[in-house]
Structures are given as C-alpha cells and as structure tokens.
Structure 1
Amino acid sequence: MSTPKVKRRVGKYELGRTIGEGTFAKVKFARNTETGEPVALKILDKEKVLKHKLVEQIKREISTMKLIKHPNVVRLYEVMGSKTKIFIVLEFVTGGELFDKIVNFGRMSEDEARRYFQQLIHAVDYCHSRGVYHRDLKPENLLLDAQGNLKISDFGLSALSQQVRDDGLLHTTCGTPNYVAPEVLDDRGYDGATADLWSCGVILFVLLAGYLPFDDSNLMNLYKKISLAEYTCPSWLSLGAMELIVKILDPNPMTRITIPEILQNKWFKEGYKPPVFQEEENINLDDIHAAFKDSEAHLVMEKKEIQPSVMNAFDLISMSKGLNLGNLFDEEQEFKRETRFTSRCPANEIINKIEAAAKPLGFNVQKKNYKMKLENLKAGRKGKLNIATEVFEVAPSLHMVEVRKAKGDTLEFHKFYKKLSVRLKDVVWKTEEDMKNSEPDDRDGNHKLHGS
C-alpha cells in the first residue's frame, strides 16, 4: 500500500488510529512521546460545540472527570485546546467493555458478578460523595482494564451537584431507557444518587441473568414495565441475590435501598475488599478554562507528517489487548464495538469483496483509498447503523482489516459482522494450526468470527 497517510501530533502526543466516534467527538489512540505511555485522546470540534451551545456541558463533563480520582473510574489526565479543537487526554483502558463479556459469554457466576458489582458500587458511592451523578450507567459504559478490573467511563450525561434546583432535585431526563429509573421517566424531578442506584440494580440483574429485566419493542410498554417494576427473577438466582435486586429495583425512590445499606448487605459483603488508594487534593481546573480560550498563549500546536499507510508496531499495540501482540491474531478475542481479521488477498480485492458482501445486506457503500463507510438504509434501534472499515498493510503479503461500529446499536453491529464474515470466508486468512487450537476453546458451541 503506497497511499500516503497523515500522521498527527498534538503537543507531546502522537496520534494513532480512531477507536471511537460520536456526533461531536472522535476518540483516537495516542502516545505520550515523553513517557511512551498510551492514552486515549478525545477530540472535540470547537465550532460544533459553540454552534450547539455545548460549551458549558463539555466543561462540566471535563470538570466532573477531573474531580474523580478513583481506581474504578477512567482517569482524565489533562485538557488542551487549539484554534479549532479541544483535546481531552484520558486513560487508555485495554480490556474492552463489560457489555462485550455479557454478549460473548452470557450470564456470569454469582461470584464474578458480585466482584464487578462491588467495584461499581464503591466507585458510584465515591462519585456521589463528591456531588457527581453519572445518569447513564449501563454495561456499555463500564470498561475493563488489563487485570479485569471495572472502570466507569463516559460522563457526558453526568450532573454536578450545582445543577440541583431549589427543590433539591435534578430535572434533566437522560440515559438509556432500559436502565433509567422510573422517577426519571416521570419528569417530576429526581435524586441523582437514587436514580444511579436503580441503574446499578439493572446492571446487577443483567450480569446474573444475561438479559434485561425490562425490555419491550414498544417504548410506552417499556416505560410502564419500569414504572411498575414488572420483571421476573430467573430461577437460578440465589435467595440473597434475588432479595438485593428486589430492594434496589424498588420503583419508589423514597423506600429504595441506599448505598450504605447495600454495603451492609450479607450477599454484597461476601469476599468484599474495598480498594485502597490515595486521594488527590487541590485539583487544578485551570487547563479546562485555558482550552476554551483563543489566546495564542493557551493554544497547543498541531503538527502533521505525511507517512505511508503501513501498520507499525505502535498501531499494532493499540489494537491488541494491553501490550500482548500475541492476542492480535487470536480467534477467541471477545466481541467489541470493533473487530478485525487478517487476509492474504490484495488490498483492492478485499475492498471490492467487502462492498459486494455489504450491499445485499442493505448497506450503502462509500469508498476512499483503503477506507470504506457502510450505512444501513434502514434505521435500527438507535438510528441507522454505520460501519467504518480500513485495510492496513502489516507485511507485503498480509493485510489487516478493521471493521468498526461508527454509529448505531452494538448488538446490531455484532449481527451484521456475523453475516459479513460468512460472505467473506474466502477472504479471511486462517492457518490449519489456528483451526486446531481454536476448536476446543469454543465454550458455547457458537460460531466464532475469524480473527475477530
């Protein structure tokens, strides 16, 4: 592949591949050139932020994450601004989403679910003690680090205590419907702490059951089920777990169990070891205000370098779990919002065959060099599913293809990729040794995607 590619630097950070994107922000893998430390760089367009009057909301998100220094919450290191962009430097978490683990393996054992729930409750309790409410807690916003510890992310919908009105309640309806507390849906004001706790209860149910307690294709029916707490606990739950879930999923926030009461619950306390960490005092928020100023003294320099689009070790590390490159071509990598496979086919042939496979599945295809954008013509649960793909040269006779969800529902992305992989079986490369090694490890008998 001889197509040139732009490599960028922002201050001391060298930017790599895109690992996530939304309406107003894009997240890139980056490396601190002074320390070599990998980070995630969230990039926001200043013009879009100003046009949609989101300055205060973005400042709130950044301030929220800077206030929280907890081992089970994604760290925010610093904030920078250029003439056109805001750069938020975040901890790079390598273990994927908790959501992926549920999708891939289904429900967890009570011991495993309890460990994640203990970490979640301790982190949420810490946030609440600092006047911070997340308001969109769900498995997709719970990441795992290389050691398998939980990390809460995405404070884009969080609220600081200053947003509470004179009646002592929050008044913004937000969050994902299946995880939202009934009092949030009522739109009569709610307490951020009790609403977050309801979401924690739904998460605990999903970890133990493998499915949602409240689910309906009709939104009004879903709201009704949530408001009345209409759900059924699966038969395999222990009495202790069932009793705790019932106390958390109490539709009345006034009688709902509190976090101090959960910390004394017998089922919760089993094997509980609160994390030991040192808190930071006098956290400086000056860089946040400076990032939004137009003064040359506060702006960071952006540099661009033209390089060939050959995948180097830096990019390979960003795609692997942690720094273990052995996982890169492992067939049993867990599902994520992105996946990848290797191929010995020429790059142009790979692009053409992806296009030929995607169009019959109802996708519009746009191609530019060795990148593609696939857009589903029909809207799904979260709007139209958009897929981004890119072909990288790893060696002269070997290419890596990344397939990433840009917009839409994660489960719909998983279903799409399963169908795509069947149509691309002649493109995907897999050795006989890989086949022999992967067969005994197929835990549930389901078809695993090549190199995913």
Structure 2
Amino acid sequence: MSASPSPTDSLEQPAKRHLRPPSAVVETLGATTSETKEGLRKINNYLLKKEIGRGAFGTVHLGIDENTNIEYAIKEFSKSRLRKKEQMDLFRRGGPRGRGRGRMMGLGVNRGAAATATGGDGSGTLSNPLDLVRGEMAVLKKLNHPHIVRLYEVLDDPSGDSLYMVFEMMHNGVLMDVELDHVAPPYTEAMARRYFKEIMLGIEYLHANDIVHRDIKPDNLLLSKEKVLKIVDFGVSEMFVKGNDKLKKSAGSPAFMAPELCIARHGEVSGKATDIWSMGVTLYCMIYGKTPFTSGNLLELYEMIKEAPIEYGGDHSENLLDLFHKILDRNPDTRITMKELREHPWITNDNTEAMLSAEENCDIVSEPTEEEMKNAIKSIGSIFAVMKAVTKFKRHSRSLSQKSLDQIMEEAKKEDEIAEAKKEKVLKGANEVDELTEATQELQI
C-alpha cells in the first residue's frame, strides 16, 4: 500500500481550542418496515441492500437512504433475542439482587437496576445484553471525534422484532484482515505510523472522557472512503470514575488482551494500560501481518501472552523496536503511557512530524446520566406493551377500528406501567433491606 498524506497531518497546525458539540442522533420511535418489489427490506427511508457483517446480537447491512442516495452501515438487533438472553442471565443468577452501587458503569450495564442484574456492583461476567445495546447508543451520542465512528439514527419499528442503528459507512473496511492461519500483507513503517497516530488520537480522546475501549484490534478499526481510520464497536467498553481507571472484569479478544488480564482472579487493573497493550499488539499486526502470540488453545495462548518471548524479525528501525519493547511491556506499571507515546521518537519520526495537541484533541464530554442511559432507546420499554396489544388485537374481530387498536395499546401500556411500578417498589424495598443489613453489620463491628 503506497503512502499518502495523513489526515492526521492535516490537523497538526496550531488552532484555537473549541468545544465539540455532542453528536446529534435522531431517534425514530415509530419506524415502519416494508418490502420492495425486488424483495429487499426497507426501514423508513433506508433500503437494506445486502448483509455485510454479523455479530452476537445483530446483523450489519449496507443500507442506502433513498432520499439522499447516501450509504450507511445499519446494525439490526433482534429485540426478542436480547430479551430472552436477558431473562436467561437473570434466571442463572437467581434474579436481581444487591444494591447496585454503580461505582463503575459498563457501557451496557446501567447503574441501579441493570447493575443489580450483573451481581450487584456491576462486576458480573455477563452484561445485560439489552443494556449493552442501550449503553453503546448512550455513549456514541455523547462522543464526537474524527477518529470515532458516528451514529446518525436509531430506529424502532414497534410492530416488529428489529431495532436499527444507522452508522456512517466505512467503505474501505477493516484496517487489516488478521487471521490465525495466515499472514496478512504488512504496512510500511510510514503507513503504520500514520494509522497508529490516528488510533492514538481516538483512544486518547476516549480516555480523557473516562472511557476504556477494551477491545482494540484491527477488526474494530475501520477505514473510510478517504482512508481515515475510525474506532468502532463500543459493546464491551467501560466507563470509569474520573481519576480511577481500575477495572475488575476481563473483556475483549484473547489475542489482544494484556498479560494482567490473563491471570485468574486478577483483581483490579488499569483500563488505560490494557488499552495501550492492545494498541501495541495492533501495531505489531500492522508491521508483521500477524499477532505476536498465536495458538488455537485459549489457556496456552494466555500463557504465551504472560511469558513467551516476542519475536521482532525484519529490517525495522531502532525507534520502532524500542517502542515495541515499551508498549508491549508486561508490567502495566512501567508500560508506556499515552503522554509518553506522544513524545516517542518513532511517533514523532525523530521530531519531524507533529500531532494535534492533547488539549485540542481531548474535548471533554459529560458522562451519560442514568436518565440518558434509560432513555437511549426511548421505545424499548414499550416494545412488549405493543406486542401485547397486537396479540390482543388479533384475538378480536378484523372489523375493529384504529381507535379500538389505540385503546388496546393504551391498556397494555398501562398494565406494563403498573407492573414496572410494582417491580421498582420491590427493588426499593430490597435495597433498603440491604442498606439496613450493612448498617447493622457496621455497628456490630
């Protein structure tokens, strides 16, 4: 791949500091799904042309806005699958319990009720998948950065099972295709430096806004039509309390996980340091076309990450090798920091290339509030009320008017509101019992 002017370089001139406004995300709560004569599905004005990806809870489509002819990447989620998974997780844990202190908020683990669903303090091994989607939306609404993918619209068809997220289309796909059984074509040092600096700017911005990505890898780094790198997939990200990035949970792709996460019962680790390690593994992929540690056995892979020597072949600069030793330092306490990365000779190309200043790059956005997390998908609470209403409607005569349907829907919503109020009352009572128990224990001590 030939070198080209870096989008990062174009931002490197000193500029007056300005605050970025949060991303404007449209919420379309009464979307309509239809089908064209050619058999293609539509959600409002978006035509779903073909499937371009698939994940644990959803499918990604190439979509086109028929009004503007602009292409988008549209993630489709099954609400019923998410709901079933949520109920199964609650069943395995014996139902919600604990106080849900909300010390840390996983993006997708709502404080309070959702935190109780993950073990009381948000430290459970599985996040509530319904909140996982809601959390990703809430955070993406807050962020606005040239190296973070943009969310434009969220659509919900209340009469169907699908929920849609409309993202900007990244036409040049993943940064590189890294697989277990073959070596991908590597980048030159110059191109690797360009893209790595763009990763740095995006991750630095996230860290400044108290967000740890936790799953940095080439698959989650996409290139736009203009070859600008953007970070995607905030499904396992974590938001931490300002000034304390210590996390307990392990998450992410095993081959890119930091050594301190490969230890059973590892306790609290620095989220920022784990992101730095994953950035280092990604840089290794760019230079060598493969990960530094490869094994089909997960336990063996973890042992390799913790102890195996890292091979640095090829004719590469001393500055790059020095950076690898510092970024792939197995000790998180001595691993290079983002600030030190900015000053490293390989990053600056021996002080011949500047970067956008950290101050200019890191406009701070406020953390999503509980209310914003709750309302990231405003229609999610009424989904099941609508489903109940539709079921009731089908049991009645086809001659029922729209007014009758509206009345049935209203009754179903009221039933749900009453049920929700009862559930909140029960949870509040449980929390009060927990608090009283803790206070009693403290007095005994």
Q: State whether TM-score is above 0.5.
A: yes
Q: Corresponding residue for 1:47?
A: 80
Counterpart CA distance in 2 for 1:40 and 1:283 is 26
Shift in Å, 1:27: 1.1
Kept in 2, the 8 Å contact 1:79–1:291? The answer is no
Counterpart CA distance in 1 for 2:364 and 2:277 is 29
Q: Corresponding residue for 2:302?
A: 223
Kept in 1, the 8 Å contact 2:57–2:81? The answer is yes
Counterpart CA distance in 2 for 1:43 and 1:135 is 23
Counterpart CA distance in 2 for 1:254 and 1:19 is 40
Q: Where does 1:409-448 land on structure 2 (aligned, <5 Å)? A: none
Q: Corresponding residue for 1:274?
A: 356
Identity %: 31
What SS does the corresponding residue of 1:111 show, helix, strand or coil?
helix
Unaligned runs of 5+ in 1: 300-452
Shift of the 145–246 alpha-carbon distance from structure 1 to 2, 3 Å rule, reads: same
Shift of the 185–197 alpha-carbon distance from structure 1 to 2, 3 Å rule, reads: same
Shift in Å, 1:206: 1.5
**Range that drifts further, 140-149 or 238-247:** 140-149
Q: Which amino acid aligns with 1:293?
A: G
**Range that drifts further, 186-195 or 166-175:** 166-175
Q: Which amino acid aligns with 1:72?
A: H
Aligned residues: 295
- 1:264 paired with 2:343, answer yes
Shift of the 184–97 alpha-carbon distance from structure 1 to 2, 3 Å rule, reads: same
Q: Corresponding residue for 1:157?
A: 236
Kept in 2, the 8 Å contact 1:110–1:208? The answer is yes
Shift in Å, 1:289: 3.1
- TM-score (norm: length of structure 1): 0.59
Q: Corresponding residue for 2:44?
A: 11
Q: Corresponding residue for 1:37?
A: 70
1:176 is aligned, of 246, 253, 256, to 253
Shift in Å, 1:279: 6.3
Larger Rg: 2
Unaligned runs of 5+ in 2: 1-35, 87-128, 388-445
Counterpart CA distance in 1 for 2:384 and 2:292 is 53
Q: Where does 1:120-135 land on structure 2 (aligned, <5 Å)? A: 120-135=199-214
Shift of the 292–38 alpha-carbon distance from structure 1 to 2, 3 Å rule, reads: same
- 1:243 paired with 2:322, answer yes
Shift in Å, 1:185: 1.6
What SS does the corresponding residue of 2:262 show, helix, strand or coil?
helix
Counterpart CA distance in 2 for 1:56 and 1:101 is 30
- TM-score (norm: length of structure 2): 0.60
Counterpart CA distance in 2 for 1:265 and 1:215 is 28
Kept in 1, the 8 Å contact 2:193–2:347? The answer is yes
Q: Corresponding residue for 1:255?
A: 334
2:140 is aligned, of 65, 70, 91, to 65
Counterpart CA distance in 2 for 1:280 and 1:77 is 20
Q: Where does 1:9-408 land on structure 2 (aligned, <5 Å)? A: 9-53=42-86, 54-83=129-158, 84-100=161-177, 106-161=185-240, 169-186=246-263, 187-228=266-307, 230-270=309-349, 271-274=353-356, 288-294=376-382
Kept in 1, the 8 Å contact 2:154–2:165? The answer is yes
Kept in 1, the 8 Å contact 2:173–2:223? The answer is yes
Shift of the 273–167 alpha-carbon distance from structure 1 to 2, 3 Å rule, reads: closer
Q: Which amino acid aligns with 1:263?
A: R
Counterpart CA distance in 1 for 2:215 and 2:63 is 26
Kept in 1, the 8 Å contact 2:205–2:362? The answer is no
